[in-house]
């Protein structure tokens, strides 16, 4: 009779890892559903209920795991562009990582924020700021280091060219570009980006 409480206690101790795994899975499902919907519809037209339905998760968990819709949007932006200290787009590994990420997931909310005109909501502005920090600023620093003329403009041109290529590739508007394997795209894309300024 003394063994039953021990078994019950063991079951109780084993439960938290399962709950943690379930929580992590629910969080991941919500995040990826949000990325898809924000990219398709933008922040304003996407509802918490729709995110929960697409994820197959109770939408009330958005508040628990992220704090709210705004924080979920910003988390989606960070996933889209990565949260590590970024190398610039002319770095081969950085460029390959981004192309692979967009081929797998499609362009997310940060890129939508880059191309939508006249939308100055707080979250859209935050996405644009993050996009500048992750794509434009590292290139500007490279060009400034090489004393290139108007490094900020050159960096924006390169980031805009990159954005246009990945958006067009994912949309299917240009069939040869969409069908091109990433391994063949990368040297061509790097050559295009290198035309904006000095490359190592």
Domains and CATH numbers, the chain: 1-81 (1.10.357.10), 82-200 (no CATH)
Residue whose pair of structure tokens reads 């958006």 in the numeric block = 167
Q: Smallest Cα–Cα separation from 65: which of 99, 20, 114? A: 20
Note the pTM of the prediction, 2 decimals.
0.69
In whole angstroms, give the CA distance from residue 38 to residue 197.
33
Please compute, for residue 80, the number of CA atoms within 13 A of its CA located in the half-sphere on the CB side: 29
Euclidean distance between CA atoms 131 and 80, whole angstroms: 10
Report d(CA 191, CA 138) in Å as an integer. 18
pLDDT in tens, 43-73: 888 899 999 999 999 999 999 999 998 889 8
Q: Quick one: how far is CA 142 from the chain centroid? A: 23
pLDDT digits (tens, 9 = 90+) for 133-190: 888 999 999 999 999 999 999 999 999 999 889 888 888 889 999 999 999 999 999 9
């Amino acid at each position: 009779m003394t063994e039953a409480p021990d078994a019950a206690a063991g079951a109780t101790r084993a439960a938290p890892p399962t709950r943690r795994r379930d929580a992590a899975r629910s969080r991941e499902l919500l995040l990826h559903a949000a990325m898809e919907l924000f990219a398709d519809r933008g922040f304003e037209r996407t509802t918490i209920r729709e995110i929960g339905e697409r994820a197959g998760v109770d939408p009330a968990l958005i508040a628990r795991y992220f704090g709210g819709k705004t924080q979920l949007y910003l988390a989606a932006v960070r996933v889209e562009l990565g949260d590590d200290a970024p190398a610039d787009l002319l770095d081969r590994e950085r460029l390959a990582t981004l192309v692979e990420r967009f081929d797998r997931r499609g362009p997310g909310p940060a890129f939508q924020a880059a191309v939508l005109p006249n939308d100055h909501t707080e979250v859209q502005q935050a996405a644009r700021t993050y996009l500048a920090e992750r794509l434009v600023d590292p290139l500007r620093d490279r060009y400034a280091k090489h004393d290139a003329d108007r490094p900020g403009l050159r960096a924006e041109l390169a980031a805009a060219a990159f954005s246009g290529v990945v958006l067009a590739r994912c949309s299917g508007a240009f069939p040869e570009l969409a069908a091109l394997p990433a391994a063949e795209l990368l040297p061509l894309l790097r050559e295009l980006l290198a035309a904006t300024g000095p490359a190592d």
